[in-house]
Amino acid sequence: MTDTNRDKYTHFGFRDVREKEKSRLVGEVFHSVADRYDLMNDLMSFGVHRMWKQFAAALSNVRSGDAVLDIAAGSGDLTKKFAHRVGESGLVVSTDINAAMLRRGRDRLADAGIVGNVFYVQADAEKLPFAENSFHCISIGFGLRNVTRQEQALQSMYRCLIPGGRVVILEFSRPTSKLLRRLYDGYSFGVLPQLGRWVAGDRGSYRYLVESIRKQPTQEELRAMMEAADFERVAYHNLSGGIVAVHSGYKL
């Protein structure tokens, strides 16, 4: 869809917006929810998000001395796990396009004593400001669906991986059971926005987050997108009945 000025459109939840506006709108959402982000994650998932992230970190096969890029790192849960895995001889670069979320992640990790092997960079996933062949592993956890041009972000990740490096994408996906989809829809649209209003004082942002999940490509669609970006040996693991999936692929 285009207007008379040939602007390109994309989705912001269930709304169509100009591509050039989506980044700003997403930024406003995460600026609004940053202070209650971790509490809301625990409440919305009943704490299960911690197990999803643990699975993704284990799947990465990150080892001591590796260089890892954690995109859309948010409050730093995955960054923290990678920092422990790479040790003092390794490096984790934690990035987020949103300054408020990046500060929150930096402060949380500093309070936990994680310093020295983690660096923080405000960066756009579509235009990663790093050299080719820089990282052994690149991760993005619950951030891909907020990217305006996902194909471009995948290409940028591919460029930054070393040959033999691995990408790990943790994202909400499509439940495999029709019954689970119905139950999940009822919970997502009926409970989560209201929970956002009570806890974070922001119903609209959590309504967007629910809608963005429904607009995210399915497991097979995302696998095809990764293969189109030249990743090989692409595979995915469904977690919690497909509510979440972890995709992985290699630059060979």
- When comparing pLDDT for 31 and 209, which is higher? 209
What is the span of the domain harbouring residue 124? 48-173+218-250
As a residue count, the chain comes to 252
SS3 of residue 117 by DSSP: coil
Domain count, the chain: 1
> Which among 118, 171, 117 has a CA at the least distance from the CA of 147?
171
* pLDDT value, residue 14: 82
- Tell me, yes or no, whether 13 lies in a domain: no
* pLDDT value, residue 30: 76
- Tell me, yes or no, whether 124 lies in a domain: yes
Q: Which two tokens stand for residue 211?
A: 């809608």
Report the percent of the chain where pLDDT is more than 90: 73
We report the CATH number of the domain holding residue 135 as 3.40.50.150
- Tell me, yes or no, whether 72 lies in a domain: yes
- Tell me, yes or no, whether 207 lies in a domain: no
Measured distance CA(19)–CA(9) in Å, rounded: 5
Q: Are 215 and 11 spatial neighbours (Cβ–Cβ below 8 Å)?
A: yes
185-202 burial, b at 16+ Cβ within 10 Å, e below that, comes to: eeebeeebbeebeeebeb
Query: Cα 182 from chain centroid?
Result: 24
Query: For the ranges 98-107, 164-173, 222-231, which has the lowest average pLDDT?
Result: 98-107
Mean pLDDT of 10-29: 80
Measured distance CA(43)–CA(41) in Å, rounded: 6
- Tell me, yes or no, whether 135 lies in a domain: yes
Measured distance CA(55)–CA(77) in Å, rounded: 12
Strands 161-172, 232-239: pairing kind? unpaired
For 152-169, write each residue's pLDDT tens digit. Answer: 999 999 999 999 999 999
Q: Which two tokens stand for residue 250?
A: 């290699």
Bridge-partner residues for 15, per DSSP?
12
- Tell me, yes or no, whether 160 lies in a domain: yes
Strands 67-71, 232-239: pairing kind? unpaired
Q: Is the pLDDT of residue 83 over 70?
A: yes
- Tell me, yes or no, whether 26 lies in a domain: no
- Tell me, yes or no, whether 54 lies in a domain: yes
